[in-house]
Chain A
């Protein structure tokens, strides 16, 4: 009968931004496999690498995203992403145990490519901060999946399964590389 003016309003783009960021990393198999491989390799390497890699990766990946957003070019991004799957998968397959600094450097190097390619694809009308947060959280959760799966490494059968998974990631990386070059 006597309605007052509606002063409330919708907060647009908040949930959409977070969900878009959360779903973006899992929409690309190349990114998914490489992230899981980081976790698997961390589990194979054991402490402290098992947590150093997942702590370092998001930071360096964000640095790659920042480079992309600032327009700093990184040559061969798609090739870099494919090679990351090959190298990380091969490390798991071979149960390679380099020193922590070398392992961290390898992971950080490839994180630049992943961040550069994926960190700057903001859907229109969404919150940039929540999109970024969702993107980083999803990537971290993929690492966690790799670490959990890599936990099977302590048993003989599980160890073989982890190595096979690493081989699978490397093989998929070869396919991505072929697709990126062709």
Chain B
């Protein structure tokens, strides 16, 4: 049953997958730092981490704690799977959708349960990790690079989510919602570019 579900997921990803054009940036400091840099220079990854951190912070301390560990761990698991099985695929539509949804929830100031935030973080982490894993294999040292990326995600998530949970009501929290709307709007436009490019 579990094998059938896994095969179904792989088939689904294969349907929406595009050839992977991304690759690891070489910083010259080694694979670990290449992984850190990868997060910084991959807008889709950066935006989903920022959006989820803002969302987790908006939903409170407990949600932020769950998301802080759920996202990097899921990213690592997804990366390991991507490095092993989906080495030729990128999922731009799904990765775009992930940060667009997270940004929309931030803009709407959606009150989501702690477990719901963790579930979103796990789903996004698995998806983006999967793509990262596939991206990092061609450069070699995928494990170290993935470790660097996961560390960068953990620290970014920790800093941003902590800041947002501590924000007072009023303008600071409105700025967070505006940031969410910008992320969601960028995702909508990107979705259009992808559909147009495919058509």
Q: How many residues of A contact B (CB 8 A)?
A: 33
Asked if A74 is at the interface (CB within 8 A of a chain B CB), the reply is no
The answer to whether A136 touches B186 (Cβ under 8 A) is yes
- Measured between C-beta atoms, what is the minimum distance from B142 to chain A in Å? 16
| Stretch from B75-83, B157-165, B189-197 contacting the other chain | B189-197
Q: How many residues of B contact A (CB 8 A)?
A: 28
Docked pose: A7 CA to B27 CA in angstroms: 11
Asked if B13 is at the interface (CB within 8 A of a chain A CB), the reply is no
Which residues B144-199 have CB closer than 8 A to chain A?
174, 177-178, 181-182, 184-196
Known contacts A51-B178, A70-B196, A128-B193; A11 and B41 CB within 8 A of each other: yes
Task: Decide if the interface of chain B is mainly helix, strand, loop or mixed.
Answer: helix
Which residues A95-149 have CB closer than 8 A to chain B?
119-120, 122, 127-130, 132-133, 135-137, 140
Binary flags per residue of B13-43, CB closer than 8 Å to A gives 1, else 0: 0000000000001101000000000000101
Task: Decide if the interface of chain A is mainly helix, strand, loop or mixed.
Answer: helix
Docked pose: A77 CA to B79 CA in angstroms: 45
Asked if B44 is at the interface (CB within 8 A of a chain A CB), the reply is yes
The answer to whether A129 touches B190 (Cβ under 8 A) is yes
B107 CB contacts on chain A under 8 angstroms = 55, 59
Enumerate chain B interface residues (CB-CB to A < 8 A). Answer: 25-26, 28, 41, 43-44, 47, 96, 104, 107, 174, 177-178, 181-182, 184-196
Enumerate chain A interface residues (CB-CB to B < 8 A). Answer: 7-9, 11, 14, 51, 54-56, 58-59, 61-63, 65-66, 68-71, 119-120, 122, 127-130, 132-133, 135-137, 140
**24 contacting pairs across A/B (C-beta < 8 A):** A7-B26, A8-B26, A51-B174, A54-B181, A58-B182, A58-B184, A62-B188, A63-B188, A65-B192, A66-B192, A68-B192, A69-B196, A70-B192, A70-B195, A119-B189, A129-B186, A129-B190, A130-B43, A132-B185, A132-B190, A133-B186, A136-B186, A140-B181, A140-B182
